[in-house]
Chains A and B, each alone.
Chain A
Amino acid sequence: MRLFLQKLLNGIAIGSVYALFALGYTLVFSILRVINFAHGAIFTVGCYLTYALTGAAFGRNGQLRNADLPVELNFWLALALGALGAGVLGIIVERLAFRPLRRRGSDPLLTLVSSLGVAIATVNILQYLFGAENYGFGETLGSMRASVELAGGELPVVIRTKQIVIFAVSMVMVVALTAVVNRTRVGKGLRAVAEDVTTATLLGIDTDRLIRLSFFLSGVLGGIAGALIGLAGSFNYQFGVAIGLKGLAVIVLGGLGDIPGAVVGGLVIGVAESFVPAEYNAYKDAVPFVVLLVVLLVRPQGLLGRAQVQKV
């Protein structure tokens, strides 16, 4: 029972970040019907930015070796600014890799390659500046305790403070995004553009602005997810690739373009991963993709989605 609870908590903590990351993917997909392969790179940039803004050291191998940023913010402020930076990067990605192709009405497939091109450039800029070494945030967050024990006794269930932070921040962002999409005028516009770009334009909605906004929000969510996952362990310039892939599994599981689905999908995959028995630990990374394959073959519309009727 104790072990079960511990695994469940670990799974939910990591799953909530998967959900946060996947929301960024799914937001863009719901509107443009394409996958932004630069999302993993944005995630990585969010993590590095947050790290740099906390005034931590820059390592020895990159061009920024021995450089010193004149700021030393606390984690929360750094996280907020890092997320904003990631959001701005989202807008830049849209401007460079998506808008020119959309304007020409070219094959949506091309955006897979153009966004990957921007992603390759971005993570290699990170490597150029910061080097290829592993970085990590410190063990504790300021004056907070490292862990909390639940249900005392001899073998308590332990929650790391970071896990609480990760879960809380993720949930706040998920709720905030859902509120924006469902309750505000801008959200209504986003939903209209997601339904049909052309019709939305004809109805006088500034679609370009809303698409830009969706990339900004997507970048913010990705950037926060990056900082949170970086917080949980160590990170280097390539760590967005693995999560970028897992995010794909999450959004397919939840149904492409489905916001509540992405949250459920993230939690399901996080928990499924943490329940992989220890002796099969090496196969843990395959879990999301086996899930992805099964979902695609059995229920392509995702867990919460409705089957699409094919029109002829």
Chain B
Amino acid sequence: MLDFLNSQGTVYVSMVLGAVLGLSLYLPLLAGQLSLASPGFYALGGFVAAVMSTKTFDVDGAYPVPLVLVEFVVAAALCGVLAFIVGLAALRLSGIYLALATIAFVEVLRVFSLNLELTGGAVGIFAIPQPFGTQLSYLWLAGPLLIAAALFTWRLEKVRVGRAFAAVREDELAAASMGVDVTRAKITAFVLGGVLAGLAGVIAAHQINTWSHRQASFDASIAYLAFVLIGGSRTFLGPVAGGLFLTYLPEWLREQAKHEFLPTWAAEFLRTGRFIVYGVLLAASCVFFPRGLITPELLDRLKRIGRRRSGSGGQSVRPEPEVAT
């Protein structure tokens, strides 16, 4: 059993990081900001980890975990400052214009990391030291990060700051006239998303051992957006589920190629053509689950079923009224 888990370690860690990245896109979206900048911050966080662990700290043998925590702090600070600047600059933009500006930001960042000596140019940075012996052990970092990020997001939606986000998302003008500081809400949301993506990058850089400009790709921007939209953009569980599920999907398809009852052509198709299936499923889930897999109504229904099971079914709870986007 443990052997099996270890062999699948890379996949599990990627899934958890995928969920974190989904949340990093979900956070700005809470304040109505469609930001596709996550891959940029993710790449930046990874470069912080790669540069610090190969150049700043020179450690023989296993890389100490506390140093990774130091990298967390540096990456968070750097991503936070950059996100603040980008968020401030992009305040005037909204909707598709903001999305395009953030795509441009990611692309500019990518070209710079492709050309700077510090980031290893076209080949990137190799042999990043590993704090753990097995891939599965990275869950000790990625797991708590996901849990903390999810709990944070969950709580955020209940407190004053999060309610301000929701107000801005529903109607900026109305929120402003009710005394919500729209600028502050938008920038806070943007910075939170950027920092979270940067932290995911730190773990990923150690985990995959090498880091290059390819991490900041346009495809990744939309892939993370897919995590949120297909998972469901109305509850924090949506992007978590979307990230886990969509990161696992291509791996699962590859695994299926190993079944012996499959004819050779089908196995070959699953191996080399699995992204055809992935693309089709991506498009199909938009069509068949336009509100995402996990919606507030679904959670409500699950809650009611749970309550009925536990026998305290007396009071009827009205579902919250649906708010239009």
Which A residues lie at the B interface, using CB under 8 A? 33-35, 37, 96-97, 100-101, 104, 106-107, 109-122, 124-125, 127-128, 241, 244-245, 248-249, 252, 256, 282-283, 285-286, 289-290, 292-293, 296-297, 300, 312
Contacts and interface: CB of A to CB of B under 8 A. Distances in A.
Nearest to A132: B272
Nearest to B36: A112
A119 B286 CA distance: 14
Nearest to B173: A312
A210 to B, nearest CB: 22
A63 to B, nearest CB: 8
Given A117-B281, A286-B112, A293-B101, A37 B286 contact: no
B282 A114 contact: yes
Contacts, number: 138
Contacts of B290: 101, 104, 106-107, 110
A125 B108 CA distance: 30
Contacts of A96: 283
Which 7 A-B pairs rank lowest in CB-CB distance, beginning with the nearest? A121-B279, A117-B282, A117-B283, A120-B279, A106-B290, A114-B286, A286-B111
B97 to A, nearest CB: 6
Given A114-B282, A282-B115, 8 more contacts: A111-B286, A120-B278, A120-B282, A121-B279, A245-B218, A286-B112, A290-B108, A297-B89
A207 B64 CA distance: 63
Contacts of A111: 286
A63 B90 CA distance: 46
B229 A109 contact: yes
18 contacts: A97-B287, A109-B34, A113-B225, A115-B283, A116-B226, A117-B281, A118-B279, A118-B283, A120-B282, A125-B276, A128-B272, A248-B100, A249-B104, A282-B114, A283-B115, A286-B111, A297-B90, A300-B97
A288 to B, nearest CB: 8
Most B Cβ at <10 Å: residue of A34, A117, A127: A117
Contact of B100 (A114, A116, A125, A296): A296
Given A110-B286, A289-B104, A283 B111 contact: yes
Contact of A128 (B173, B219, B230, B273): B273
A107 B100 CA distance: 17
B63 interface: no
A109 B98 CA distance: 12
Nearest to B226: A113
Interface in B222-259: 222, 225-226, 229-230
Contacts of B281: 117
Contacts of A113: 222, 225-226, 229-230, 282-283, 286
Contacts of B89: 297
Nearest to B283: A117
B91 to A, nearest CB: 10
B96 interface: yes
B325 interface: yes
Contacts of A245: 103, 107, 218
Interface string B101-133: 101110110011011000000000000000000
Contact of B286 (A101, A241, A248, A283): A101
Nearest to A249: B104
B280 interface: yes
A117 B276 CA distance: 9
A110 B229 contact: yes
A122 B279 contact: yes
Contacts of B325: 107
Contacts of B229: 107, 109-110, 113
Contacts of A119: 279
Contacts of A97: 283, 286-287
A5 to B, nearest CB: 28
Most B Cβ at <10 Å: residue of A112, A122, A245: A112
B275 A120 contact: yes
B147 interface: no
A114 B283 contact: yes
Interface string B50-87: 00000000000000000000000000000000000000
Contacts of A248: 100, 103-104
A249 B101 CA distance: 9
A117 to B, nearest CB: 3
A249 B277 CA distance: 30
Contacts of B101: 292-293, 296-297
Contact of B104 (A127, A283, A293): A293
A292 B98 CA distance: 11
B93 A296 contact: yes
Given A110-B229, A296-B100, A128 B286 contact: no
A116 B282 contact: yes
Nearest to A290: B108
B103 A241 contact: no
Nearest to B291: A106
Most B Cβ at <10 Å: residue of A106, A114, A282: A114
A194 to B, nearest CB: 16
A22 to B, nearest CB: 13
